[in-house]
Amino acid sequence: MNLGKKLVAEFLGTFWLVLGGCGSAVLAAKFGGDGNPLGIGFVGVALAFGLTVLTGAYAFGHISGAHFNPAVSFGLWAGGRFPARDLLPYIVAQVLGAIAAGFILLQIAKGGGGFAIVPDTAGAFASNGYGALSPGGYTVAAAFLCEVVLTAFFLIVIMGSTHKSAPSGFAPIAIGLALTLIHLISIPITNTSVNPARSVGVALFAGSGAIGQLWLFWLAPILGGLIGGMLYGWLGRDEPDIVGNP
């Protein structure tokens, strides 16, 4: 598959992830107001993120590998699954797809009555944050640790479920469920990033507070991705047969 098609697949897959996941948070999480049974709540948002990755992986995995996330690209590189020469093009395509989705989501949201982005508030336009911008008021240290650890385990699941010895065809299900679980854990902490592109795609429209905290949602997920990728690269590496071993 040529690189151009891979980049289009990464753009579309990341667009789908942000539109589906962040769209569920902006449009449906509190539909009708707090406590309204029509709202899907944060459990529904967690499921929506998992479903976007699951469906996107089946749609685009055979074209680009379905990274949809700079931290995943870095992690797969660290684990020996992805060439360094493609890192920058993939990341650019992912970020552009996320921004395009954020822009489309904003246009849709503005068409509903009473919609408004309140800058410098927790979760504004599905943005990520720590401290005053954390849904649960979690510190920068807690947010950083959470994002590193959860991204590392996300990479372990991705690399394990796509290993040549893993059951064929089931990887998108495992990856989608892992992302759902990650959101169930961390929505109260950071509103869940584990994906720098996802964070950028909405922060650009959420105000200076969210933009000013983007450094954490690049640094922590990429660090976690590198840790997870290197760890599974070692753990899942096939050992050579030892000829003549008694």
Instruction: Read off the pLDDT band of 32 (50, 70, 90).
Output: low
The predicted pLDDT at position 243 comes to 45
Domains, the chain, in order of start with CATH, read 3-235 (1.20.1080.10)
The predicted pLDDT at position 242 comes to 45
Lowest mean pLDDT of 108-112, 153-157, 187-191, name the range.
108-112
- Higher-confidence residue of 132 and 30: namely 132
Residues 195-211: tens digit of each pLDDT: 999 999 999 999 999 99
What is the distance between the alpha carbons of residues 108 and 126, in angstroms, rounded to a whole number?
A: 14
- Can you read off the two tokens belonging to residue 53? 């990755």
The predicted pLDDT at position 155 comes to 98
Residues 46-102: tens digit of each pLDDT: 999 999 999 999 999 999 999 999 999 999 999 999 999 999 999 999 999 999 999
Residues 96-122: tens digit of each pLDDT: 999 999 999 999 999 987 888 999 899
